[in-house]
Amino acid sequence: MKKSFNNICVAVMAIIILFYGCKKDDSLSHTNVSEVTNLYGPANGNNVFLGGNGTVVFEWEQAQAEDNGVVLYEVLFDKPEGDFSKPLYSLPADGKGLQRNLSMSYADLTKVASAAGISPSSAGKVKWTVWASKGINVKRSAVSRELNLERPEGFPAPASAYLTGTATEGGDDLTKASAFRKVSDGVFELYTSLSNGNYRITERNSGTPNSYSINTSGKLVENGTTAVTTAKKTYRIRVNFNNATTEISEVVSVGLWFAPDNRIWFDLPYTSGSSWEIKNAPIVFKQETWGRDERYKFRFIIKNAAGATSEEWFGSTKGDNQRPTASTEAAYWFMVPVSNDRWNNSFKFSGDVDNKNADVKVTFSSTAYTHSVTVK
């Protein structure tokens, strides 16, 4: 009990000492720093074309701390007429703010340009400065320099892309946005349905991500929404951030093509979630002199923006296949673009499917283009 009382007394004395110590040093002079009085580079009025994956290095004169300790730096950007009280964008210096330089990527500078109202395929000016501090008592520099930023036609390639809005399957709930499949760096593709309403493309399905829309010329633009004024239809939406181009085509039909009969057996109705499915479809192999033939692939009928239709075929990654079994790896069912050759790159039904009904489902998700056959 005596030990506990002693501990309490020590704690009280520590608080009193801390209180009077703070009162005595209420100026917090040890946190004072001088302002940055000279910016070394880039030069005033320097031109930067933001194409590719480059960087721009910002450098400045050292600020001095009153206690000769470390100084933290932050680079700020604003419009030419701004005063940095509400900067467009800011970043700490390299080394978590400790170094007297900042290596800034073109991707981040594109964000600065966008915030300044500089659209793709155009140029404009911003200005930058450096603030110094020891975490508090920020010292604002009185000097600044201008940069001429020129944006290429496209946008920095995001890691992912999503579709959201009242016209989409997930509605206006961003967490339910439909994920695009990444085809290559900056290029994305999504098979989905759209109905009357609007939609936009985002880089994430949470928070406040950068968003884009498609204008009346079919170009990808920042912010805004795209209107849909037609009844519900299934589409393939392709977006290329690298050159700000898009391609929207209607998926008219998806048919299972049976090679031995050289014809479409049946169409798979679109359901949702980038999937087409027919249930209880009768599957009967064709009897040949050498045995029963079970080869098939899929034909997509696509209608472009001009109204012209074309065929696109999806089949197996292999030119020839064995009948699948319960232990066949998942990759067997993956679908890739193939030719309309009657036999090559066809799948084969499992032997268990012959003379049975089956559910046939095609799913083009963000992770894989695949299908399944389930015996009833």
* CATH code, domain carrying 66: 2.60.40.10
Peptide bond connecting 156 to the previous residue in cis, omega within 30 degrees of 0: no
What's the predicted TM-score (pTM) here?
Answer: 0.77
The answer to whether residue 5 is domain-embedded is no
- Average pLDDT for the chain: 91
239 and 257, same domain (yes or no): no
Cβ within 8 Å of residue 48, ≥6 positions away: 42, 56, 106, 109, 147, 148, 149, 150
**Position 266 in a domain:** yes
| Tens-place pLDDT, residues 195-221 | 999 999 999 999 999 999 999 999 999
Closest-CA residue to 57 (of 113, 117, 108, 120): 108
Backbone angles phi, psi at 2, to 5 degrees: -65, -40
Which one of 243, 271, 301 terminates a domain? Answer: 243
Q: Is residue 229 part of a domain?
A: yes
According to the model, what pLDDT value does residue 169 have?
Answer: 98
pLDDT at 51 over 70: yes
CA torsion sign for 241, 339, 298, 371 is negative
In a domain, residue 319? The reply is yes
Q: Are residues 139 and 211 in the same domain?
A: no
Q: Within this chain, do residues 143 and 257 fall inside the same structural domain, yes or no?
A: no
Say yes or no: 285 and 341 in one domain: yes
Owning domain of residue 51: 29-150
Worst-scoring range by mean pLDDT, 105-114, 185-194, 255-264?
Answer: 105-114
In a domain, residue 98? The reply is: yes
User: Is 8 within the bounds of a domain?
Assistant: no
For residues 78 and 126, give the distance between their C-alpha atoms in angstroms, rounded to a whole number.
6
What is the number of structural domains in the chain? 3
Length in residues, the chain: 376
Select from 85, 119, 150 the last residue of a domain: 150
Q: Confirm whether 359 is domain-assigned.
A: yes
Q: What is the sign, positive or negative, of the torsion defined by CA atoms of 7, 8, 13, 18?
A: positive
Closest to 56 measured CA to CA, from 108, 99, 20, 18: 108
Question: Does residue 145 belong to any structural domain of this protein?
Answer: yes
Decide which of 150, 176, 201 is a domain's last residue: 150
Reduce the DSSP state of residue 24 to 3 states and report it.
helix
